Each structure stands twice: as C-alpha cells, then as structure tokens.
Amino acid sequence: MRSRLLTGLFYLQHAFGITDEQVVAGWVENPYWQVFTGEIHLQATPSIDPFSPSHRDKWLGEKGVDELLAQSIEAAKKVRVVTKKPMASWCAAGTKDR
C-alpha cells in the first residue's frame, strides 16, 4: 500500500474528524483529496479497504502522529505555504476544545 495514500487519508480523517469509512467514501467523491494523496487520474472506486486506515494507527502510534504533524508543518513553512503568525492563531484555536 502506498504510504502517501495512507498518510493523506490519515491527515484528512483527523482534519475533518471523520471515520475510516467516511474518509474513504469522501476520497472517492473528492478529486482534490485524490490529488492530495498522490493520484494522477480520477478514481471512481476506492483503492483501499475502509478498514485499512485503522491498521495505520497501530504502526504509527500517538508519537508518530505528532511527528507526522510536525514534519508536515515544517515542510509547509519551508515552501512558505504557512507563516508563523497564522499558524500560531490556528494552533491556539485548535486547542480551545481540549
């Protein structure tokens, strides 16, 4: 299984707070999600079993999730997709509910 697909689905699942089944169904319906996960051509059927993303949680673990997020933020900062100021307010807003 492609790691970009799993990582992308994992990110989308947590960003939108949805289940494994919902992220796979959303991936089929949303071409932007497909491009985000590395697809070049539109896919009309899922290329992954809806239950496969939960297997990723076992090998990634909570520390792995934190590391994945940190690496993603650093990569976005390097290519100037995000800046420190908006990130600080976004992170603060994301911790309100915790």
- The one-letter amino acid at 17: G
Q: Kindly tell me if the per-residue pLDDT of 57 is higher than 80.
A: no
Q: Which amino acid is at 11?
A: Y
Give me the domain span that covers residue 37: 3-94
Number of structural domains in the chain: 1
pLDDT in tens, 15-47: 899 988 899 999 999 999 999 998 999 999 987
pTM greater than 0.85 (yes/no) = no
**Distance (Å, whole) CA 82 – CA 86:** 7
What is the rounded CA–CA span in Å between residue 48 and residue 93? 33
Q: Please report the pLDDT score of residue 4 as a whole number.
A: 82
Which own/partner contact pairs does 89-98 have at CB distance under 8 Å and 24+ positions apart? none
> Rounded to 5 degrees, what angle do the CA atoms 84, 56, 26 make?
75
